[in-house]
Amino acid sequence: MAKLQSLEVVDAGSSACARAPLGLLAELTHRCPLQCPYCSNPLEMDRADAELTTAEWRDVMRQAGELGILQLHLSGGEPAVRQDLEEILEAAVQAGLYTNLITSGVTLTRERLASLAKLGLDHVQISIQDTDPANAERISGYKGGAGKKREVARWVKEFGLPLTINVVVHRHNIENLPALIDYAVEVGAGRIEIAHTQYYAWALRNFAALIPTREQFYASVRTTNEAKERLKGILVFDVVAHDHYAVRPKPCMGGWGRNFIVVTPSGKVLPCHACETIPALEIDNVRQRPLADIWLNGGAFQAFRGTAWMKEPCRSCERREIDWGGCRCQALAMTGDASNADPACALSPRHKDFALLAERESHKPSPPFVYRRMSGIQSDAPSGSAMTAPPKA
């Protein structure tokens, strides 16, 4: 914590945050062999030649340790496409961080996973798209992923690492939730993350193709609650709730500038994945400014930290320090002003329209996916090693 203590908090006021963040999400690269239409990466992704170098990422790890960060999530894109993942991990372990590799698994080999485990990797999270291989391929735009993911899960257990299965839930897999939960148990995961799609970036672009009906969502809640009871002591459930059928928002990122830092492949330091959509936010880069200084004093982190920025109804609401007004990026996308209440909140004047939009779109046939591609938005199905069939309605 030496760095944190030595830095001055500028313009503290009520928005200061004098404690260390809990977690750092290190997006090592935006490169990824999968093309999931709900990806949280921005529509305009960083190219390989813009990525931080090995030395720069190692320095980010050192700074994260000094800042007092506890957990490191090595993410992407697909973090394993970085050939220097081992060197970055080594720096993170030296910095005393708890390390979690978030991976699709499809590029990993047994040897590479063994070497990461030997270096001190603490945890692996594998994302799956569905239990039905053909549907998983259609969603991810990648052939042959399902068998490989099972194999990687087996290696994770072989090397004695804790395993989480992550599934992003939407209208094309929500009916298979019971099987997805069974899958997590079968492969020996201790935890499942059931992440109902959050609609920003690629998911917002694919809103109509992804949004489930209210009935489907409620059925998934019943399935999850029943499974939680049945699997007590076997599987831990982390659920990221669906916003459109909610009455109160969730505290996005645990509150703006309170718990998490995101570092993008090119070194931008963000309070959340999607905040680059917010106009005039002052975004710093680890290439120019120390991580601790950005966390404490950076313009983007100060913008919506605390409650001073809030308008009504949040300003006088008793939940303002529980959900922190919900998601700034969703407020911007759906109301045109990032300092409005998240429309997921029933107290927002935009809530009714927000819920009605979901009701309407979810009952129409699904349009084709707009697959995530480095080359930008394309509405055709992917080619090459990827899929050519359009999504089912």
* Phi, psi of 193, deg, nearest 5: -105, 110
Q: Is 334 in the site for ligand SF4 (CB under 6 A)?
A: no
Could you say which of 184, 300, 329, 355 contacts ligand FES (CB under 6 A)?
Answer: 329
Residues between 257 and 316 that touch ligand SF4 (CB under 6 A): 313-314
Measure the CA–CA gap between 16 and 306, rounded to whole angstroms: 7
Q: Which does 196 bind (CB under 5 to 8 A by kind): ligand SF4, ligand FES, none?
A: none
Could you say which of 262, 275, 303, 386 contacts ligand FES (CB under 6 A)?
Answer: 275
- Determine whether 142 is exposed, middle or buried from the number of CB atoms within 10 Å of its CB (0-12, 13-18, 19+): buried
- Determine whether 122 is exposed, middle or buried from the number of CB atoms within 10 Å of its CB (0-12, 13-18, 19+): middle
**H or E stretch including 61?**
helix 54-67
Looking from the CA of 366 toward its CB, the CA atoms found within 13 Å total 20
Q: Which does 249 bind (CB under 5 to 8 A by kind): ligand FES, ligand SF4, none?
A: ligand SF4
Q: Which residues pair with 284 in a beta bridge?
A: 269
Q: How far is the CB of 160 from ligand FES (least distance, A)?
A: 35
Query: 325, 288, 285, 287: which is closest to 307 by C-alpha?
Result: 325
Minimum CB distance to ligand SF4 smaller for 254 or for 390: 254
Residues 63/69, Cβ–Cβ less than 8 Å: no
Q: Which does 248 bind (CB under 5 to 8 A by kind): ligand SF4, ligand FES, none?
A: ligand SF4
Q: Which two tokens stand for residue 92?
A: 């993170």
Q: Is 300 in the site for ligand FES (CB under 6 A)?
A: no
Q: How far is the CB of 83 from ligand SF4 (least distance, A)?
A: 44
Minimum CB distance to ligand FES smaller for 142 or for 295: 295
Binding mask 56-75 for ligand FES (x = CB under 6 A): --------------------
Amino acid (one-letter) located at 134: A
Residues between 229 and 248 that touch ligand SF4 (CB under 6 A): 248
Note the residues at the interface with ligand FES (CB under 6 A). 200, 252-253, 272-275, 327-329
